[in-house]
Amino acid sequence: MVVKVGFIKLGNLSTSQVIDLLLDEIAAREGIDVRTFGTGAKMSKNEADATAEFKNWKPDFAVMISPNSMAPGPTAARDVWKGVPVVVVSDGPAKKEDRQKLEEAGFGYIILPVDPLIGAKREFLDSTEMSLFNTDALKVLSAGGAIRLVTEELDKLVDQVAQGKKPELPKILAKPEKCIEKAGYTNPYAKAKALAALHIATKVAEIDFPACFVLKEVEEIATTAAAGHEAMRAAGKLADEAREMEKANDSVLRRPHAKDGRLLSKKKLLEKQQ
């Protein structure tokens, strides 16, 4: 059986850059088909309505990733996709009652407060700054275990569908402490650095939010957004340091997919994966 996995990208999170690659990182996995529908940076109701044509591909389950999943656009997109098993991947909602609404509507979710809000104001952000921010953020998400957490949860769904079972959609609030346990650090100082990076990433959104939605003066907007991006850069450096420490110990955890989709594992660079 070939499991069909659809990815719907409304707007952009740092995780959006790689989420449709996580199940088949070397393009050698058998038994899955992946298709992606993206709407670029926009995520309004118009973009949500446009995703209806993607339903014709009839995925076994879909992953819908966007900033702020309770915003009008992502909410409208979920209405379009009712009847299809859908996992929402987003940086919010943080409130328990909002996550319960997703559950009650039949949706799974992986909420990543560690995937931070960018300083999206013309007074500060251009395409270069956007790319640098997302590079630092993705580094933190990767070294901090968040990317592996998402990978493993999506793998579970693929396995369930392949076995003819109804997919059990995840319901996860991926705080830093939950993410870091997926990173597989051996050196406790490396783990602490990566955990610190995740915590800083969660604070970046708190810094950038006023710049995006509250402040009015150019100087305040630009300075505040710049501060958020400097915090993200510092977190990226910590993530780099954490991984370099694991390299020095020859203890980097690697979990590649086998052809049949099993997650293999190894800790030493020159050993064979098991």
* pLDDT at res. 115: 98
pLDDT digits (tens, 9 = 90+) for 81-113: 999 999 999 999 989 999 999 999 999 999 999
Q: What is the mean pLDDT of residues 11-37?
A: 98
Is the N-terminal amide bond of 93 cis, ω within 30° of 0?
Answer: yes
| Phi and psi, residue 134, nearest 5° | -65, -30
Indicate the pLDDT class of residue 48, thresholds 50, 70 and 90.
very high
**Tokens describing residue 82:** 């009712």
User: CB under 8 Å to 165, separation ≥6 — which residues?
Assistant: none
CA dihedral 70, 75, 77, 81 (to 10 degrees): 110
Four-residue CA torsion sign, 155, 35, 110, 13: positive
**3-state DSSP assignment of residue 109:** strand
223: left (phi over 0), alpha (psi -120 to 50) or beta: alpha
Tens digits of per-residue pLDDT, 209-237?
A: 999 999 999 999 999 999 999 999 999 99
Q: What confidence tens digit (pLDDT) does each residue in 133-147 have?
A: 999 999 999 999 999
Q: How confident is the model at residue 72 (pLDDT cuts 50, 70, 90)?
A: very high
Q: Tell me, what's the pLDDT at 94?
A: 83
Residue for token pair 């995925």: 59
pLDDT above 90 (res 33): yes
User: Phi/psi of residue 142, each to 5°?
Assistant: -75, -50
**Mean pLDDT value across residues 2-6:** 98
pLDDT of residue 243: 98
SS3 of 41, please?
A: coil
pTM of the model: 0.97
